[in-house]
Amino acid sequence: MSKGNHILSLWLFSVLMVFLGTGNAYAQLSSFKDNLFPVEKLTPRDSVLTLKVGDSAPDFTLPAVEGGKITLSQYRGKKNVVISFVPAAWTPVCSDQWPGYNLAHDLFVKNDAILLGITVDNTPTLYSWNKQMCNPGEKLWFPVLSDFYPHGEVASKYGVLRSNGVSERALFVINKKGVIRYIDVHDINQRPPLNVLATALEKLNQ
């Protein structure tokens, strides 16, 4: 990618980030919004990260909402992986963050990356949430995985399980060799900025 195209790409993602930050990524139905659990402002971070950039990403296998199971190592040598931990289904910020990644699908395709969404909710809860968080006729393009039982085991492996049993709002970017190249344990009250994730993904190809 030329320097000019790289700058243009980052600018476009910055604009998208502003869009995502100033309102819902999707014009969700009011009936859906009425069912969201009102979350008070939480302590921004409540865990001790046990991994660092350069570490091998701990492998795991989790059930997917769409059926079957997904193992992290199945992407080894095939795809870069972004793991998105979010605290809980049916909460406002989480219900904006994941549909927002639908708008950024090309970012992942361009960088040969798959996104794995993980939360500690059980599969039936996630199934119902996923059916309603996007606009009618649309769905999330990436797999959503349940870390419900053993409860929060994967979040704990990654050092992002909070003391109240939910996960942090965290992103891990893992290259095709299974090595962690970027970590963002974000303020749980806010969506992580998309342009920073875009930069982390582009660095995988440098």
What single-letter amino acid sits at 194? L
Buried residues in 133-172 as b, exposed as e (16+ CB within 10 A): bbeeeeebebbbbbbbeeebebbbbbbbbbeeebbbbbbb
3-state secondary structure of 140: coil
> Sign (positive/negative) of CA torsion 15, 135, 71, 154?
positive
Nearest CA to 94 among 161, 169, 42, 43?
169
**C-beta separation of 184 from 199 below 8 A:** no
DSSP E strands in the chain: the ranges are 61-63, 69-71, 80-85, 113-119, 144-146, 169-174, 180-186
Rounded Cα distance, 5 and 41, in Å: 39
Catalytic residue among 25, 94, 161, 198: 94
Pairing of β 169-174 and β 80-85: antiparallel
Whether 134 is catalytic is no
Q: Two tokens at 53?
A: 């950039």
Task: Please list the active-site residues.
Answer: 94
